[in-house]
Amino acid sequence: MAIQMNRWERVRAALRSQDVDRVPVSMWRHFFAEEKAAGSLSDATLGFQNRFGWDFMKVNPRASYHVEDWGTRVEYKGDNAPSVVEVPVKSPDDWLRLRVLDVNRGVLGEHLTALQLISAGLKGELPFLMTVFTPLSIAGRLVGSEDVLLKHLHEHYDKVDYALQIITETFILFSKACLERGASGLFYATTGWATSDRLTEEEYRRYARPYDLKLLNALPPAEFHVLHVCRPHNLLGALSDYPVHAFSWDPRSEGNPSLAEGKQIVGGRAVIGGVAHDKRLVEATPEQFASEVAGMRVAMGTRGWMLGPGCTFRPETPEANLQAIRNAAG
């Protein structure tokens, strides 16, 4: 295609499986040292965008933003992932203590402020997504471990179901507020649950799918919802009918489909991924990434895909590698 597209045109064309002038590209990471306040989080996010000129932006909120207002407490040490020091659910009965939150207050309210600042900074020039986790994923951060939640699901499902309903209602309100603040859609992430390493497809249909769909189906129309199916051995096929516009996963992880295979699984809808996000992104050379991206462009063609990481990448990644990925997109 000879005509040069702007970022919105490029992303919209990719979502519609139309030709693009070049593959849309984005990368995303946490800014742990800056994410504790709305102003510094928005400044760091916008600064990263301005340095590299990504075609769309995924906002990485505070790592524990989705559970702090229910009582999860964390501690930060420099530019590192925070450590959880307190969780609100210590016994099955504690699930019954959860209440629907006022999303305009507390940590959720802070993040809505950050979204307003990001939206103002971007001036409508490109789409941006707010990261929202699935209700089961959120529940998993309210207890001491995922194993504890799994035990409660099997032995005290009625109590966990009550909490999942509360979580779902809260994040329907929050997700609507994100769209009102200017977000183009959600980056809806399953974290450690949509994988056969944790749940069977039947268990996912019982313990996760109803809440996932209740949240997504409650939202007003948006242009760019992404379902991110995390971890190796993911259950992409079981989630392929979700009402989103694109799917993201790590095609490099064991047991996961390639981008081309995944595109068939999700019925031809847009797919996002292809770039390593682990230590390889830190250690490989810019030339290696340039070569890899060139190979992906040949394999995937020009329609219905976007270049991005398999998951959030490490903060210590050299910026030269990120620039190589950005340049190699075309």
Query: Which pLDDT score is estimated for 201?
Result: 97
3-state secondary structure the chain: CCCCCCHHHHHHHHHCCCCCCCCCECCCECCCCCCCCHHHHHHHHHHHHHHHCCCCEEECCCCCCCCHHHCCEEECCCCCCCEEEECCCCCHHHHHHCCCCCCCCHHHHHHHHHHHHHHHHHCCCCCEEEEEECHHHHHHCCCCCHHHHHHHHHHCHHHHHHHHHHHHHHHHHHHHHHHHCCCCEEEEECCCCCECCCCCHHHHHHHCHHHHHHHHHCCCCCCCCEEECCCCCECHHHHCCCCCCEEECCCCCCCCCCHHHHHHHCCCCEEEEEECCCHHHHHCCHHHHHHHHHHHHHHHCCCCEEEEECCCECCCCCHHHHHHHHHHCC
Q: Name which of 307, 310, 306, 255 is nearest 281 in CA terms.
A: 310
Kind of pairing, strands 73-75 and 83-86? antiparallel
Structure tokens of 85? 């020091």
Q: pLDDT in tens for each of the 330 residues of the chain?
A: 458 999 999 999 999 999 999 999 999 999 999 999 999 999 999 999 999 999 999 999 999 999 999 999 999 988 889 999 999 999 999 999 999 999 999 999 999 999 999 999 999 999 999 999 999 999 999 999 999 999 999 999 999 999 999 999 999 999 999 999 999 999 999 999 999 999 999 999 999 999 999 999 999 999 999 999 999 999 999 999 999 999 999 999 999 999 999 999 999 999 999 998 889 899 999 999 889 888 888 889 889 999 999 999 999 999 999 999 999 887
Structure tokens of 251? 């095609």
Query: Which pLDDT score is estimated for 191?
Result: 96
* CATH numbers and ranges of domains, the chain: 7-328 (3.20.20.210)
Q: Give every CB contact of residue 45 below 8 A, 6+ residues apart in sequence.
A: 31, 57, 59, 60, 114, 118
Predicted TM-score (pTM) of this structure: 0.96
Query: Which pLDDT score is estimated for 301?
Result: 87
Structure tokens of 311? 């998951």
Beta bridge partners of 129: 58, 185
Give per-residue burial for 262-292: e unless 16+ CB within 10 Å, then b: bbebbeebbbbbbbbbeeebeebebeebeeb
CA 141 distance to own-chain centroid: 16
Q: Give every CB contact of residue 261 below 8 A, 6+ residues apart in sequence.
A: 251
Longest CA–CA span in the chain (Å) reads 62
Q: Name which of 42, 61, 40 is nearest 107 in CA terms.
A: 61
Query: Which pLDDT score is estimated for 2?
Result: 54
